[in-house]
Chain A
Amino acid sequence: MLSDILWTIVFVFFIGMGLTRPYIALSLVIWIDILKPQDLSFSFLAGKPLSLIAIAVFFFSLMMNLNKIRIPARKSSTLIIILFMGWLSITTYYAEFQYAAWFKYDFVIKTLFFSLFIPFVVETRRQIETILGILVSSVGYYTMIGGMRTFLGDSRYGSGLVQSLAGDSGIAETSTLSMVSVFTLSFIFYIYKNSYFSESIKFIKPLLIGLSFSCLLTTIGTHARTGLVGLFVLILIIIYFSKQKLKVIFGTLFVLLMVLPFLSDDYVSRMSTITSSDQESSALGRIVVWKWTLDYVSKRPFMGGGFGSYRANAGQLQEYVASDISIDLKSNSGKAFHNIFIEVLGESGYVGLSIFLLLIYVSWSMNMKIIRGKNEAIWMVMFARSINIALLIFCACGMFIGVAYSPWLYYFAGLSASLYNIKRKTEYPLPKQKTA
Chain B
Amino acid sequence: MVEILTKLVIGYLIIMMIYVSVKAEKDKDKK
Contact = CB atoms under 8 A, between A and B. Distances in A.
A31 B14 contact: yes
A13 B18 CA distance: 9
Contacts of A196: 20-21, 24
Contacts of B10: 35, 137-138, 140-141, 144
Contacts of B20: 196-197, 200-201
Given A2-B4, A145-B3, A27 B13 contact: no
Contacts of B2: 145, 148
B11 A201 contact: no
Nearest to B25: A126
Interface size range of chain A in the complex: 20 to 34
Contacts of B24: 126, 196, 200
A3 B9 CA distance: 12
A126 B27 CA distance: 13
A24 B18 contact: yes
B9 A144 contact: yes
Interface string B1-30: 011101111110111111011101100000
B11 A9 contact: yes
Given A3-B4, A10-B11, A141-B10, A201 B25 contact: no
Interface stretch (A127-135, A231-239, A273-281, A405-413): A127-135
Given A3-B3, A6-B7, A148-B6, A207 B22 contact: no
Contacts of A200: 20, 24
A196 B23 CA distance: 12
Interface of A: 2-3, 6-7, 9-10, 13-14, 17, 21, 24, 27, 31, 35, 126-127, 129-130, 133-134, 137-138, 140-141, 144-145, 148, 196-197, 200-202, 204, 207
Given A9-B11, A14-B18, 4 more contacts: A6-B8, A6-B11, A10-B14, A201-B17
Interface of B: 2-4, 6-11, 13-18, 20-22, 24-25
